[in-house]
Structure 1
């Protein structure tokens, strides 16, 4: 169907993803070079193998294969008896060998799926395949973006870092769905321990997007193969975040819809997402499979992997842990979601809930600690080495040695801002809980010094009691428990 024929019709968006995930291994996929390249000088983590020098032979990293199998189990994929590697031939400056070692017709994982929640509705996204390959190097464009740079520098430190490419079905009907899927995928990968989102370039997205007449989309969201074949698609590259994916695909969907409505044909091409300008830019015509001239990698024999699925264990995944938290600890859906947002958060909550009431633990971890960390744009991984200090603060509150108010509003905040332990903050600020005699004395003083408030209390004015509580708290330097003060004042005033 031509663009002219559909220009007056409503258009639907169809998106499929190719998600490139850096696997968290100590060394590269085919050599012994370190993958810890974040702060390394350019081109210092290289060797003849990852630079593709003549005579250098690849040796497969077992940890990378184990990681791939774990991902396959997590997405309920089929893992074949045998998997093989191929050479994908194309020239690009950051590909030192002139080809990429990847997998073609025998990937390590096929036909998986991942459940994701979009606008309160649970959906299943099909995953066609997930395969292993090596990462290219990285390009640094100087003086502007890719289409405006004065020159480009190449850093091969990243060349050979193990990648897993996860290819979805064209199951997305909008950019917001893509963002939700990426967040869920990243959550699962981090639970598996095969991925570190803090690594630069650890997750990169290529998206294939096309628009079709809305009446080609069934009520269940399905689109016929014929409709997909008729719609030219663009591949959008250089997307590196959930937010970036939503922005890039929203822009590209609008661009294509406007083109169709103006009677223009959609070119089948590869486009670059320019994050700075917020636009996609044409790079080249879209390659076809035949252009890559795939052939078997003769230096890597076929790999038997079917029995790895039974031998390798994977941890409890986020959905299962969320459900268990609701059942075992009686948490609400919202609290369980917060407390399973990352494996580190969930582990810490269970440590606290093992010592104290689960509701108290949930309040402290989900509301207090995570709330203060989010305010500071921090994650729990930023304070992993200090979790025993936060446990100690909860213990001080539970043992009635400090008020909840002071613990939340003073101690916790200064622990995060100053890097101090709770006892240091408490001693410096004089926040130790006042003894019973001191609180009773402060209550008597507040009553004697504020006869008008006492009279108002007896006249039934509710604010009078709150005023007297404030006076007592001021006299005790905030070290009294407000609930106990309220009760003592009522008892004394009602005599």
Structure 2
């Protein structure tokens, strides 16, 4: 049951909630890959590779270990309850450290320097000595079964329009392996991403609205990009959001990929918790309870449901649980296309079943009314009760229905604390929140002394925009496009070698975008190729009009030098006499039009002149000569 919104969607995208009254508090965890030469604990490159280019693979099984105090983290324990095989795709650059067949090396010095620079931008205080810790992770994303992480700085702050958001800590970590796909027995990962240096920035729970969450994330993102040493592109930055309301619980939302959605994601989680609390109140009024799981296979012995029949073939079992007082609530919507029953199914799927059935949605899927009645009778369910059921092989069926029962008991209490994975703007259950037992010291990597005295904070992107406007005369839109773009350093290098700033900006942004849309492989153009092309321009060997054609030729023919490409495409600058001859020829060919229209003929003749010159003359030069020739004859 979703409420309709009737107010500013920028403040509350999707639902009409008073966040102050609800007691919303939220905090961010920003994970950003660093663009360093090598990985954090080995000398392997940080370039991404295609899974199809892997040279070999190996498999592992992972199990949780105890902390120094002999405890096992609850999240790791649940991960271990599902037996899975992890397959790793290795490459010609993969080393023994990445395969966990050799101890890690010392922490990368370049990554430490970048982390300290980020700490300075966030007004944080570095700690005296960074100690590497192991963070238990057994979902297969790290071959060692843990992630290495070091606290670098703490006690910082950023400003938002809604007030200060304090930065609690800055961690320097190794990135996890990239998930490629599911296999019949587990998960397949690629090792090219594993070990890339990563900073994790955690705020305090100072955020009190979805809009402020988005603004804070954007501010931190701008500061990170200002360093010029962070990776760009899909998957290189991820945001996790911790959200709670006063009567609810802390929920960690993992894997927010787009800043544009972060406000809606927070709003949807608040709404989910509000709906769960409403369900809790309804269950309390009904004195709800959860029964014990029971085997109801006999109810479906003659079923014509293809889904259930297929699951019961062989030694499959149907397991059900009576949910006393839950009728009508299991099917209640708590997020778009997600219901309380969907939450139950999330927990069941962790144990290898495809999903669950429940009586709020039956009869359906080939299950008949009489089978629903028989199912209710089998577990002694009344009309106010709901029944949840799974059908699968005996072991996963038993584990899955017990997981459903546990989640149903949590619904009676209210909102469970948990980690959830973001799917667009909604989320699904992943695992319990991790505890302190997750972290323990890394004994293979020595501590690192940290010194921020010689760290020079970079110019902020917002400051670059202002400078590009004042110093280079760029309009506000183009200045922002260049400052926040991936070719900002190329723009500055081009201006430094004498290229007109507006031309340089338009080339690295607008021209490149247009060429890409036309199918030109612009990814073949590195900064060096661009600067070589700009050198021909400043030397007068190529015209402004010919520059796009030159870039196209260089992208499509990587083996050619800029000079060779210009010669092959006939892009050399025409001499002044040749330009005048072409202009005169065009004017004489259109003498009648010139005599009749005078300067009114200019536009058409200008295009004809430029076409005849094939981009080998500057437009300003051609325009000046054409005006002279028309005026002579008009």
TM-score surpassing 0.5?
yes
State the partner residue of 2:152. 108
Rounded to whole Å, the distance in 1 between the matches of 2:508 and 2:191 is 40
State the Cα distance separating 1:445 from its structure 2 match: 4.4
Contact preservation (8 Å) 2:524, 2:555? no
In 2, Cα distance between the equivalents of 1:100 and 1:470? 62
- Contact kept in structure 2, 1:75 and 1:112, CA below 8 Å: yes
User: Which residue number corresponds to residue 333 of structure 1?
Assistant: 476
**Greater Cα offset, 73-82 or 168-177:** 168-177
Cα contact 1:440–1:488 (8 A) shared by 2: no
CA contact (8 A) 1:372 1:413 kept: no
2:527 to 384, 391, 395: 384
Instruction: Describe the shift of the 1:411–1:50 C-alpha distance in structure 2 as closer, same or farther (beyond 3 A).
Output: closer
| Map of 1:184 onto structure 2 | 222
TM-score (norm 1): 0.70
In the alignment, which residue of structure 2 is the partner of 1:345?
487
Name the structure 2 match of 1:467.
Answer: 604
The answer to whether the 8 Å contact 2:28/2:242 transfers is yes
Q: Does 364-373 or 264-273 show the bigger shift?
A: 264-273
Does the Cα contact within 8 Å between 2:546 and 2:616 map onto a contact in 1?
no
| 2-structure distance, mates of 1:444, 1:26 | 57
Match of 1:169 in 2: 204
**Mean alpha-carbon deviation: is it higher for 155-164 or for 480-489?**
155-164
Decide whether the 8 Å contact of 1:453 with 1:468 is kept in 2.
no
Whether contact under 8 Å (2:46, 2:192) holds in the other structure is: no
Change (3 A) 1:10 1:476: closer
* Aligned-partner SS, 1:465: helix
Q: 1:422 to 1:132 in 2, by over 3 A?
A: closer
Tell me what 1:253 maps to.
267
How far apart are residue 282 of structure 1 and its match?
Answer: 1.2
Structure 1 runs (4+) greater than 6 angstroms displaced:
121-124, 377-381
Alignment CA distance shift 1:126-1:438 (3 Å): same
Other-structure match for 2:31: 20
In structure 2, distance between residues paired with 1:98 and 1:320: 43
Q: CA deviation at 1:122?
A: 11
Are 2:185 and 1:153 equivalent residues in the alignment? no
Answering whether residue 249 of structure 2 is matched by residue 205 of structure 1, we say no
Residue 131 of structure 1: how far off its partner (Å): 1.6
Cα deviation, residue 362, structure 1: 1.8
Q: In the alignment, which residue of structure 2 is the partner of 1:488?
A: 628
What is the match of residue 596 of structure 2? Answer: 456
**1:126 matches 2:166:** yes
1:113–1:125 contact (8 Å) kept in structure 2: yes
Q: Does the 8 Å CA contact 1:50/1:159 hold for their aligned counterparts?
A: no
Moved more, 159-168 or 436-445: 436-445
User: Which of 418, 430, 446 matches 1:269?
Assistant: 418
Residue 219 of structure 1 is matched in structure 2 by none
Structure 1 stretches of 5 or more lacking a match? 144-148, 211-227
- Contact (CA 8 Å) 1:21, 1:203: kept in 2 or not? yes
Is the aligned partner of 1:318 residue 2:461? Answer: yes
Contact 1:364/1:394 (<8 A) preserved: no
| Alignment check: 8 A CA contact 1:252 1:280 kept | no
Note if 1:34 corresponds to 2:44: yes
Query: Quick one: which of 419, 427, 432 aligns to 1:280?
Result: 427
Give 1:179 shift: 6.1
Alpha-carbon distance between aligned partners in 1 of 2:456 and 2:449, rounded to the nearest angstrom: 18
Q: Deviations over 1:436-495 (max 9, x none)?
A: 44455455544544454134225xxx533333444544555565543123322233124x
Q: Deviations over 1:123-144 (max 9, x none)?
A: 865322102334444544426x
TM-score (ref. length: structure 2): 0.57
Q: State whether structure 2 residue 113 is matched by structure 1 residue 66.
A: yes
Instruction: Return the alpha-carbon distance in structure 2 between the equivalents of residues 122 and 453 of structure 1.
Output: 65
- How many residues align? The count is 432
Deviation per residue, 1:383-411 (Å, 9 max, x gap): 22313322224215xx4x6553x325534
In 1, distance between residues paired with 2:578 and 2:98?
Answer: 74
- The one-character-per-residue Cα deviations of 1:402-427 (angstroms, maximum 9, x if unpaired) are 553x3255344444444455544554
CA distance 1:465–1:250, change in 2 (3 Å): same
- 1:16 and 1:52, CA in 2 relative to 1: closer, same or farther beyond 3 A? farther
Work out the CA distance in 2 between the residues paired with 1:318 and 1:86. Answer: 33
Structure 1 SS opposite 2:100: coil
Gaps of 5+ in 2: 4-14, 58-87, 280-413
1:238 aligns to 2:287 (yes or no): no
C-alpha distance in 2, partners of 1:336/1:159? 36
- The CA RMSD measured in Å over matched residues stands at 4.2
